[in-house]
Amino acid sequence: MGLKRWLPGVAGLRAGAIHLSLSVAVALTAMAVIFLVWYPGKLAQAQGVSFLVLIMIGVDVVIGPLLTTLLYKPGKWGMRFDLFVIALLQTVALLYGMKTIYGGRPAYVVFNVDRFDVVPVQDVSADSLARAKPAFKTSMLHPRWAAARMPEDPETRSDILFSSLSGGADLPQLPEYFVPLGDERDALLQKLHPIEELRKINELDDPAWKAVWAGFDRPETDLGYLPMRGNAQDGAVILDAHSGEILGIRMLTPNFKSPRKGDVGDKKPPEAAPSVEPSADDPASAPT
């Protein structure tokens, strides 16, 4: 008798189904914002946000509709209040999860000496951000690509070094020292690794290897990469070995050691090369 009391009736199942459809629509919208705007392409994997999103969406989609299914009884006194409380708790849980994910979103993908660093917005120095050029202010929507250039003043360089060693902000977290990627094009090319290196490190067979570079519409010999440091997983930023143009990201284990003399990074670039800036087709969202 006690179990039968909690079994949902037809009305409860119908109400639960309606609640479920609404929850799924909200969840899909939230996932689109997270994976297409805040953490585009491979940056979601690099920052390890997918598991947190699955927990948030799972709780939001499952618990709310389930409570509605179990508690909904037509004509029951206080039913509207019960539904309001369920919706309120579900909304609060979703907003809290979205706030947490938004606070950890990547603010920058920064070229730093010989690699790219994915910098979460929570790691950016607020003081340095206030002094940054308008082009390098954090965006509320998507991460910005930039290059970090060490200042020439010895005292400032020393301050940055000691800050980094003491657990404070390092150069990639100081947007006042950011410059456009094109300004560091020569450094990008000098530090470039041969893309074949990724195949050896990750032990890829022929079909898997072709899938890595097939989407770039140029021969393998025209490609190179720079390692990318993420919070959860490292990857490789693929570039044109002649122009330095950023083509995309691949979540493969990179080599963080600088390339040897004579490797792809030492090829002399052409006189007039296109910009290395990411194109409108965001390299962070390039195909796998």
Q: What is the pLDDT of residue 272?
A: 43
Give the residue with greater pLDDT, 192 vs 154: 192
Six-digit token string for 161: 């070094």
- Distance between CA atoms of residues 126 and 135, nearest Å: 16
What are the tens digits of pLDDT across the range 257-283?
765 544 554 444 444 444 555 643 444
Q: What is the pLDDT of residue 271?
A: 46
| Cα atoms found within 13 Å of the Cα of residue 148, Cβ hemisphere only | 24
- Distance between CA atoms of residues 13 and 21, nearest Å: 12
Q: Are 194 and 224 in contact (CB under 8 A)?
A: yes
Q: Are 231 and 118 in contact (CB under 8 A)?
A: yes
Residue 51: Cβ within 10 Å count: 9
- Distance between CA atoms of residues 114 and 237, nearest Å: 12
Q: How far is CA 84 from CA 13, 43, 194, in A?
A: 18, 37, 59
- pLDDT class of 101 with cuts at 50, 70, 90: very high
Integer Rg of the chain from CA: 24
Lowest mean pLDDT among 87-91, 163-167, 237-241: 163-167
What are the tens digits of pLDDT across the range 5-38?
555 567 778 888 888 899 999 999 999 999 999 9
Largest CA distance in the chain: 85
- Distance between CA atoms of residues 38 and 156, nearest Å: 32
DSSP string, 214-250: GGGSS-GGGEEEEEEE-SS--EEEEEETTT--EEEEE
| Torsions phi, psi for 143 (to 5 deg) | -70, 150
User: What pTM, to 2 d.p., does this model score?
Assistant: 0.78
Give the residue with greater pLDDT, 239 vs 287: 239
Lowest mean pLDDT among 33-47, 101-115, 197-211, 258-272: 258-272
- Distance between CA atoms of residues 63 and 181, nearest Å: 46
What are the tens digits of pLDDT across the range 140-190?
888 999 999 988 778 877 887 877 777 777 888 899 999 999 999 999 999
